[in-house]
């Protein structure tokens, strides 16, 4: 039976992907669930598994091509009855385990283990996990739909065998001072279109050029930021916070947070200070509904934290920041930032943000102007904290003392809030950061 394999739904808001690599050739025999190609979207790099066991009959795409959801990728001469293609799982390294699948319900009956010579149905990440744990998938009782083996099945089997998961990657031991940082720049004007078919590296009247297509994360970023810049009337307000005492508190407790698996960097404290200000000034935790001409105030606090990766700027979302302690945030932030850099963060972790925090401080500079993450109404930027001389007192009696100052800038949607609101909003954040005891009451 000939089966057309179409690009499945890649998740909410994702309509296309770029073919990174085709892993099979025409005439190759593949098994159901075997990776056949790698696709990159603005969210992640994904292995796409074969929907059936059979022989590759035709390949209709090639690396570098951008394809829409529903487009035919390849055809198979299937062995037996074809099954629907399952959504692909995210995997950038193709070496370590991917995301978890939901465990089966308590009332389900688990199928018996079979002794078939053919590998059982399982997603690529599940197969990798089994290899890491030294588990034979044919010995694992499947609980997934259609008799598929899930990661939970493999872990449960490993526990029964007395085996432990693989050790975490060395990247998990990131120094506590390292914080997720973002490269932020206003969108540049688009170049004028060139004649079709102009070869790469051709010369124009001014000199040699090279043309590089916008792809995956960079392409999505360009569209997203251009829309935000065009639709939102941006206004910025800037100030500095004296974090001398707060930094002393951070240094005092960073070792115990490290033991808990987190990193106590300044972003953690800014998150807690920001969420208190968002509750006091709800216009910064809102969005515009232009169709109904309404302001939508969010009564939950999911803050995106911009992370600088080798694929571009990616913004995972920390959910319910107001309900989490400093310790919990320090652990979660380090984990999600590390997984985002490795392309391991789940798609769901990139959605649902109500406000964004971006930190350029680790790269230097005194100030910058962040672009609001549409459709949010505001974004808070952090500059580099520097030890600077500060004058205390008045003209008659004063002293000059060294203080650690943190530049902060808030960009906001002027349709929703005004400059005076921004000054009060940022002032509340600064007051919390400058008074660690007060900040601890907030957290």
pLDDT tens per residue across span 291-320: 999 999 999 999 999 999 888 889 999 999
- Residues 65 and 91: beta-carbon distance below 8 Å: no
Report whether pLDDT(353) > 60.
Answer: yes
Highest mean pLDDT among 174-178, 216-220, 306-310, 334-338: 334-338
Q: Give percent above pLDDT 90 in the chain.
A: 49
What pLDDT does 120 receive?
65
Between 40-54, 215-229, 336-350, the lowest mean confidence (pLDDT) is in 40-54
What pLDDT does 242 receive?
97
**Which residues belong to the active site?**
414
Q: Which CATH architecture has domain 216-442?
A: 2-Layer Sandwich (3.30)
Between 246-260, 357-371, 405-419, the lowest mean confidence (pLDDT) is in 357-371
Sign of the C-alpha dihedral, residues 70, 73, 77, 78? negative
- Residues 439 and 433: beta-carbon distance below 8 Å: yes
- Residues 377 and 412: beta-carbon distance below 8 Å: yes
- CA-based nearest residue to 139, from 105, 109, 111, 168: 111
Q: How far apart are CA 17 and CA 227, in angstroms?
A: 20
Q: Model confidence at 379, in pLDDT bands (50, 70, 90)?
A: very high
Query: Token pair 């203080």 is at which residue?
Result: 403
Report whether pLDDT(200) > 70.
Answer: no
Supply the Cα-derived Rg of the chain in whole angstroms.
26
The CATH label, of 1.20.810.10, 3.90.76.10, 1.10.645.10, 2.40.50.100, for the domain at 2-100+117-160 is 2.40.50.100
- CA-based nearest residue to 98, from 129, 119, 120: 129
Going by their DSSP bridges, the two strands 294-297 and 54-59 should be labelled as unpaired
CATH topology match: 2-100+117-160 vs 216-442: no
- What residues does each domain of the chain span? 2-100+117-160, 216-442
Highest mean pLDDT among 27-36, 210-219, 421-430: 421-430
If you average pLDDT over every residue of the chain, what do you get?
81
Q: Model confidence at 59, in pLDDT bands (50, 70, 90)?
A: very high
Name 267's Cβ contacts closer than 8 Å, sequence gap at least 6. 179, 180, 305, 333, 357, 359, 382
When pLDDT is averaged across residues 129-147 and rounded to a whole number, the result is 78
Between 147-151, 268-272, 394-398, the lowest mean confidence (pLDDT) is in 147-151
- Residues 428 and 280: beta-carbon distance below 8 Å: yes
């Amino acid at each position: 039976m000939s089966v057309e394999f179409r690009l499945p739904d890649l998740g909410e808001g994702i309509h296309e992907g770029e073919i990174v690599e085709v892993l099979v050739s025409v005439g190759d025999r593949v098994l159901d669930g075997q990776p056949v190609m790698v696709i990159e979207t603005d969210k992640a790099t994904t292995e796409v598994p074969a929907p059936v066991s059979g022989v590759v009959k035709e390949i209709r795409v090639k690396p570098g091509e951008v394809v829409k959801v529903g487009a035919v990728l390849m055809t198979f001469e299937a062995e037996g009855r074809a099954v629907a293609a399952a959504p692909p799982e995210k995997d950038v390294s193709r070496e370590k385990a991917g995301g978890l699948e939901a465990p089966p319900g308590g009332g389900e009956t688990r199928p018996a283990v079979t002794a078939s010579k053919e590998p059982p149905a399982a997603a690529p990440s599940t197969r990798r996990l089994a290899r890491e744990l030294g588990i034979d998938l044919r010995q694992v009782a499947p609980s997934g739909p259609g008799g598929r083996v899930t990661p939970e099945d493999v872990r449960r089997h490993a526990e029964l065998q007395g085996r432990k998961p693989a050790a975490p990657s060395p990247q998990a031991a990131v120094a506590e001072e390292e914080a997720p940082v973002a490269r932020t720049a206003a969108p540049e004007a688009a170049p004028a279109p060139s004649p079709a078919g102009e070869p790469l590296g051709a010369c124009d009247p001014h000199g040699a050029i090279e043309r590089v297509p916008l792809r995956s994360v960079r392409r999505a970023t360009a569209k997203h930021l251009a829309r935000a810049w065009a639709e939102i009337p941006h206004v910025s307000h800037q100030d500095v916070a004296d974090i001398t005492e707060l930094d002393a508190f951070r240094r005092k407790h960073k070792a115990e947070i490290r033991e808990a698996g987190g990193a106590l960097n300044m972003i953690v404290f800014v998150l807690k200070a920001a969420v208190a200000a968002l509750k006091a000034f709800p216009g910064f935790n809102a969005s515009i509904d232009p169709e109904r001409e309404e302001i939508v105030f969010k009564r939950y606090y999911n803050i995106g934290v911009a992370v600088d990766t080798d694929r571009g700027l990616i913004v995972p979302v920390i959910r319910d920041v107001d309900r989490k302690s400093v310790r919990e945030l320090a652990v979660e932030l380090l984990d999600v930032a590390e997984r985002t850099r490795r392309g391991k963060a789940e798609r769901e972790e990139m959605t649902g943000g109500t406000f964004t925090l971006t930190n350029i401080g680790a790269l230097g500079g005194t100030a910058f102007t962040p672009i609001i993450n549409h459709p949010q109404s505001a974004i808070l930027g952090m500059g580099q904290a520097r030890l600077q001389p500060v004058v205390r007192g008045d003209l008659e009696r004063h002293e000059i003392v060294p203080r650690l100052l943190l530049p902060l800038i808030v960009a906001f949607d002027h349709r929703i809030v005004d400059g005076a609101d921004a000054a009060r909003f940022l002032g509340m954040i600064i007051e919390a950061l400058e008074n660690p005891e007060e900040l601890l009451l907030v957290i």
